[in-house]
Every structure is written in C-alpha cells, then in structure tokens.
Amino acid sequence: MSSVSSLARIALSLGLPAGLLDRGPSLRGTKFLVKAALRAHFGVGGRPFQMVNVGACDGALFDDVTPWLHRIPRARAVLVEPIPYNQKRLRANYPDTDRFIIEPVAVTETKGTITVRTFDAAALEAG
C-alpha cells in the first residue's frame, strides 16, 4: 500500500462515524490499530500493544494488519503460520525474537496432522 493511500485510509478510519465504519470492517480495524499506535507513541495505557495473528503468512503480502506492528512502539505479537516458506519470510520481516514469537502450527478444530495447499512461491513473489 502506498504511503498516500495509507494516510488516506488512516484519515478515513478516524473521521468516519461508527455507522459507516460498521459497513467496512477493514476500516474499523485500521481505526483500532491507529488508536493503538497513537496510545503507544504518547505513552497512554501503560502496557504494550499485544496481538495474536492466526495465518500471519509472511507479514507483508496481502496483509493490512501485521505491518502495523512496526508502527506501534513496543508492540508484541504471536504470529501463527504453518507454511515453512512463509515462516522464513515472516522471521525476516519480524526479526525481533523478544517481541515477535512465531508459532509454526495450524489452528484446527481437532488434533492431528493436516495437509495445507499453497501457491507457488515464485507466483506469490510476482504478486
């Protein structure tokens, strides 16, 4: 996402009434993350922002949430990702092992082993 479109999205999320935000869950999420970033920057709230992201992928491609961890000072996260290729990219994108814990598991209804189908890595890189 370009910096201009990112700023526009932030402005929209903060300026729209709740009734409109309810129609756009991604904007509601952006508003939540913007407020968390502002609280962290200005030292409001005491404890650091924490989140769990199930299906974190690589933390960059097609992800509107995880990149906010770089914008929120002292943010901590558990990043759940079962695909080894994505785990490597995720660790490269979030190298701080004290703040970002990567769990190499899939979340399912039952215990056991699953088969995960994925895309060709080169195709993902190409967008």
Domain total of the chain:
2
Whole-structure pTM value: 0.74
Q: Is the pLDDT of residue 62 over 80?
A: no
Quote the DSSP letter at residue 68: G
Instruction: Name the residue range of residue 21's domain.
Output: 1-46
Q: Is the pLDDT of residue 54 over 90?
A: yes
Domain CATH number, residue 122: 3.40.50.150
Q: What is the mean pLDDT of the chain?
A: 83
pLDDT value of position 22: 63
pLDDT value of position 111: 92
Cα separation of 106 and 82, whole Å?
Answer: 5
Do 66 and 96 sit in the same domain of this protein?
yes
Over residues 77-103, the mean pLDDT reads 94
